[in-house]
Amino acid sequence: MKRVQAVIRPERFDDVQAALQAAGFSGLMVHDVRGHGAEGTPTGEYRGVAFSMTVRHKLLIDILVDDEEVEVVCTTIKAAASQGNPGDGMIMLLDVEGVIPFR
Amino acid sequence: MSALIMWLVTTSLLLPALYRRQRRRLERANGGAPPTSKRRAVLVFGASALLLATGVAGGAYAATDAPTNLAATSTRATNGDPNGSATTIGGESIVPKGSSQKDSIASLTEAVAKDRTSINTVWLMVGGILVLFMQAGFALLETGFTRAKNASHTMMMNLVIFALGVVGWFVCGYALMFGATDQSAILGMTPLGSAVHIGSWNLIATSGFFLAGKAYDTAVLGFFFFQLVFMDATATIPTGAMAERWKFKSFVWWGLFASAILYPIYGNWVWGGGWLSQLGAQGPKWGNGAVDFAGSGVVHAMGGVAAFWGAKALGARIGKFNPDGTPRAIPGHHIPMAFLGTFILLVGWMGFNGASTFAGTDLRLTVIITNSVLSSAFGSLAALAVMWKKFGTPDPSMTANGLLAGLVAITAPCAFVAPWAACVIGTIAGVIVVYVVLWMDHKAKVDDPVGAVAVHGANGLWGVIAVGIFADGKYGAGLNAVATPVKGLLYGNAGQLAAQVTSALVLVGYCSLMSIAFFALLKKTVGLRSDEEHEIIGLDLGEMGSQSYPDFLEAQGSVFQIEDDVPKVPVGAGITSGAAALREELGQ
């Protein structure tokens, strides 16, 4: 079992979620995260003083899938979230030793 | 009546037409006739028939009844009174009648005088209530421009300053400032008492403490309330400049000091018949003496100058300046909140300036309100233009400051200048506010999170001086016991400018002296600044004991650049290593 963690731009979330749903993956977790990667540091201006926006708002999507489903999920997310620009996001794959669901 | 009948008949005819149209639309949408709803059809045609019947019956009634009606009573009873010209109610004159002609004239005179006083008092109260709402504007503006971790603290200062101000004003503020005034004869108000004076120069008034004795009077209390809300504006201005680091215990003393001592003394000199206002009637005989229509100086510059010395005594917020002294941006946490505050201030300002006539019968109030609006618009546009040109973006918070700067600057001259001059005054105010904010950050190194010094201090002084330049001699005859109207330098009276500059210099000198001494005393006794630890975790948790936004984690600290100031947690502390350990922890 794998934990697929995808960092995406917040504005791509609707598309990514719809694509995953269409591909048959309905369960996911979403986290609000802040960070920065390859996209560089934009400069803001507040009352005449410049400041750098070093961290930006992103979403982190968490999905648990079986090993054979990993490729489909990754392709789906990438296709829906990528716009061809730096800072679009990335996908991390983590091994999951087991899941203990409860209700 | 006939309009109502027309409406009834038209509606009754329109209803079935609308119903048919909707059915056709449904037909098109469904590609076939929709199932007919019998109940709805009955409802529509029933309502239509009812309306038609009412209309026809009403028309028949009006046709038979109208002529006798018209003959019997005034036009009001049958046709309404769209122009407000009726002077009778049910055939009776609203003016009381006497038994003889002489009696009638006497009672008429009395009624007119009473109405005049009532109109003036009501306008004063409406204006005062508008100004009271400006407290909400200040609170939202200041809180929006500061960080989430200090939001409750900033809001608390704005709320508590109101209450403290009322106390100080009630105890002695009003008595010191207006205890000797008779400028409100327009309200039917009797002077309360005399002033402390040197020769013929009045220094301070001394009657009306605790609103006792003669002060228990409708006009005096109305005037007390109106002046109270102005004082509260002054008292609340420094809470913006000193926000996010002012120890609450220390702030409480400021509220009492400002309302009971600092504000009333200078206020008396200009508004309470004191020596600055006498400069026109005696001594150098400069124009009408120091003139400040609604308080650019008395209210705003007083608050702004005190805010400067307060912020200087406090020192900058942690993280505001780099080690090399260059400023860092600490963005406010809620710009829409600050903008709502700005709009509320704009609306409140119409009462601030407009009702400073003290008289609804003084129609100059339309000129005043229009001038105020013009100046605020030009002020915001000027600030927007300067920021856009200088930094490449139309900075939202500075544009809001520019709007307020225009209002502050027009507050003193609003009644005395022509509309074109209001535009010029506002434009200059918008430029001043930007450069003073930049000067505060880059040169003076005084940290003012909301721009209070630039908006209220610098532009308050500009407004006072602007009277001496632009006053056009159309208004203010009799003001400060000088028979001629207020006329500025551009209209050939340099004396007025001399009086204005003198009052501005006296204000800066007096307010600086008092504020420096007061803040130094506070520093020595209760302390001025919050604990460093409290400032870092936020004054909400540190001093108020609760957060403003407990549901939002990010509200606990700024995400921008301030991380140097946050105590570091050792890396790895408290982290369970691996899923196995986690399971062990869970007992599996």
Q: Say yes or no: B441 contacts chain A, CB-CB below 8 A.
A: yes
- B89 touches B12 (CB < 8 A): no
Chain B residues with beta carbon closer than 8 angstroms to that of A64 = none
pLDDT band for position B69 (cuts 50, 70, 90)? very low
Higher-confidence residue of B275 and B95: namely: B275
Cβ distance A45 to B395 less than 8 Å, yes or no, reads yes
Q: Chain B: give the shortest CA distance to residue A82, in Å.
A: 27
Q: Say yes or no: B553 contacts chain A, CB-CB below 8 A.
A: no
pLDDT band for position B230 (cuts 50, 70, 90)? very high
- Strands A2-8 and A89-95 turn out to be antiparallel
Chain B residues with beta carbon closer than 8 angstroms to that of A55 = 559
Structure token digits, residue A23: 């591909």
Distances (CA, A) of A36 to B77, B87, B557: 75, 75, 18
Phi then psi dihedrals of residue B277, to 5 deg: -75, -15
pLDDT (mean) for B249-254: 95
User: What is the interface size between A and B, counted as CB pairs within 8 Å?
Assistant: 51
CA distance B437 to B434: 5
Q: Mutate which of B147, B389, B391, B432 to test chain A, going by most A C-beta atoms within 10 A?
A: B391
Chain B residues with beta carbon closer than 8 angstroms to that of A50 = 329, 391
- In DSSP terms, A31 is beta-bridged to A60
Q: Chain A: give the shortest CA distance to residue B314, in Å.
A: 21
Chain B residues with beta carbon closer than 8 angstroms to that of A44 = 329, 331
Chain A residues with beta carbon closer than 8 angstroms to that of B330 = 46
CA distance B15 to B320: 67
pLDDT in tens, B359-400: 999 999 999 999 999 999 999 999 999 999 999 999 999 999
- In DSSP terms, B574 is beta-bridged to none
Structure token digits, residue B528: 């001025």
Per-residue pLDDT, B52: 83
Cβ distance B329 to A34 less than 8 Å, yes or no, reads no
Q: Chain A: give the shortest CA distance to residue B146, in Å.
A: 12
Q: Say yes or no: B579 contacts chain A, CB-CB below 8 A.
A: yes
CA distance B443 to B327: 10
pLDDT (mean) for B439-450: 95
Ramachandran sector of residue B35 (left: φ over 0; alpha: ψ -120 to 50; beta: rest): beta
Structure token digits, residue B340: 């709502």
Chain A residues with beta carbon closer than 8 angstroms to that of B393 = 45
- In DSSP terms, A63 is beta-bridged to A4
Q: Chain A: give the shortest CA distance to residue B467, in Å.
A: 29
Ramachandran sector of residue B372 (left: φ over 0; alpha: ψ -120 to 50; beta: rest): alpha
- pLDDT of B153 higher than 90: yes
Cβ distance B397 to A46 less than 8 Å, yes or no, reads yes
Helix (H, G, I), strand (E, B) or coil at B203: strand
- pLDDT of B558 higher than 50: no
Return the HEC string of B210-262: HHCHHHCCHHHHHHHHHHHHHHHHHHHHHHHHCCCCECHHHHHHHHHHHHHHH
pLDDT band for position B293 (cuts 50, 70, 90)? very high
| Closest chain B CA to residue A50 | B329
pLDDT in tens, A48-102: 888 887 788 899 999 998 888 899 999 999 999 999 888 889 999 999 888 887 8
Per-residue pLDDT, B71: 41
Per-residue pLDDT, B568: 47
Chain B residues with beta carbon closer than 8 angstroms to that of A45 = 329, 391-393, 395
Chain A residues with beta carbon closer than 8 angstroms to that of B328 = 49, 51
Q: Chain B: give the shortest CA distance to residue A36, in Å.
A: 13
Q: Is the dihedral of CA B573, B575, B581, B587 positive or negative?
A: positive
CA distance B144 to B160: 18
Work out the angle at residue A78's Cα, subtended by the Cα atoms of residues A75 and A81, and round it to the nearest 5 degrees.
145
Q: Mutate which of B559, B577, B582, B584 to test chain A, going by most A C-beta atoms within 10 A?
A: B559
Residue with tokens 């100059």: B364
Q: Mutate which of A33, A36, A46, A53 to test chain B, going by most B C-beta atoms within 10 A?
A: A46
Q: Is the dihedral of CA B300, B211, B257, B499 positive or negative?
A: positive
Cβ distance B329 to A49 less than 8 Å, yes or no, reads yes
pLDDT band for position B64 (cuts 50, 70, 90)? low
Cβ distance A51 to B395 less than 8 Å, yes or no, reads no
Structure token digits, residue A34: 């802040």
Cβ distance A48 to B588 less than 8 Å, yes or no, reads no
- In DSSP terms, A51 is beta-bridged to A44
pLDDT in tens, B577-587: 444 454 455 55
- B25 touches B68 (CB < 8 A): no
Burial environment of residue B36 by CB neighbours within 10 A (0 to 12, 13 to 18, 19 or more): exposed
Residues 258-317 of B with CB under 8 A from A: none
Q: Chain A: give the shortest CA distance to residue B441, in Å.
A: 8
Phi then psi dihedrals of residue B326, to 5 deg: -75, 145
Work out the angle at residue B402's Cα, subtended by the Cα atoms of residues B399 and B406, and round it to the nearest 5 degrees.
150
- The interface pTM score, or ipTM, of the predicted complex is 0.73
Higher-confidence residue of B107 and B407: namely: B407
pLDDT in tens, B511-536: 999 999 999 999 999 999 999 999 99
Higher-confidence residue of B508 and B207: namely: B508
Distances (CA, A) of B203 to B177, B233, B273: 10, 23, 9
- In sequence order, the 6+-apart residues with CB closer than 8 A to the CB of B534 are B541, B542, B543
Return the HEC string of A23-92: CCCCCCEEEEEEECCCCCCCEEEECCEEEECCCEEEEEEEEEECHHHHHHHHHHHHHHHCCCCCCCEEEE
> Measured in whole angstroms, how far is the alpha carbon of residue B440 from the centre of its chain?
25
Chain B residues with beta carbon closer than 8 angstroms to that of A54 = 560-561
Residue with tokens 């003076």: B444
Phi then psi dihedrals of residue B402, to 5 deg: -65, -40
| Closest chain B CA to residue A47 | B398
Chain B residues with beta carbon closer than 8 angstroms to that of A100 = 586, 588
CA distance B233 to B224: 15
Q: Say yes or no: B387 contacts chain A, CB-CB below 8 A.
A: yes
Per-residue pLDDT, B83: 66
Q: Chain B: give the shortest CA distance to residue A95, in Å.
A: 10
- pLDDT of B566 higher than 80: no
| Closest chain A CA to residue B333 | A46
**Length, in residues, of chain A:** 103
Higher-confidence residue of A29 and B57: namely: A29
Among candidates B438, B561, B588 on the partner chain, residue whose Cβ is nearest the Cβ of A48: B438
Residue B327 carries which DSSP code? B
- Strands B195-198 and B92-93 turn out to be unpaired
- Strands A49-52 and B195-198 turn out to be unpaired
Burial environment of residue B346 by CB neighbours within 10 A (0 to 12, 13 to 18, 19 or more): buried
- The CA dihedral of A46, A50, A55, A56, to the nearest 10 degrees, is 50
Least confidently predicted of B3-7, B68-72, B299-303: B68-72
Structure token digits, residue B13: 């005819």
Q: Chain A: give the shortest CA distance to residue B463, in Å.
A: 23
10 Å Cβ neighbour count for B110?
A: 12
Phi then psi dihedrals of residue B467, to 5 deg: -60, -45
CA distance B422 to B460: 14
| Closest chain A CA to residue B321 | A49
| Closest chain A CA to residue B579 | A97
Q: Mutate which of B561, B576, B577 to test chain A, going by most A C-beta atoms within 10 A?
A: B561
Q: Chain B: give the shortest CA distance to residue A24, in Å.
A: 28
Q: Say yes or no: B243 contacts chain A, CB-CB below 8 A.
A: no
CA distance B538 to B165: 26
Chain A residues with beta carbon closer than 8 angstroms to that of B580 = 97
Work out the angle at residue B585's Cα, subtended by the Cα atoms of residues B579 and B588, and round it to the nearest 5 degrees.
80
- B399 touches B387 (CB < 8 A): yes
Helices B396-411 and B364-391, interaxial angle, to 10°? 150
What letters, b where the CB count within 10 A reaches 16 and e where it falls short, cover B439-449? ebbeeebbbbb
Higher-confidence residue of B191 and B134: namely: B134
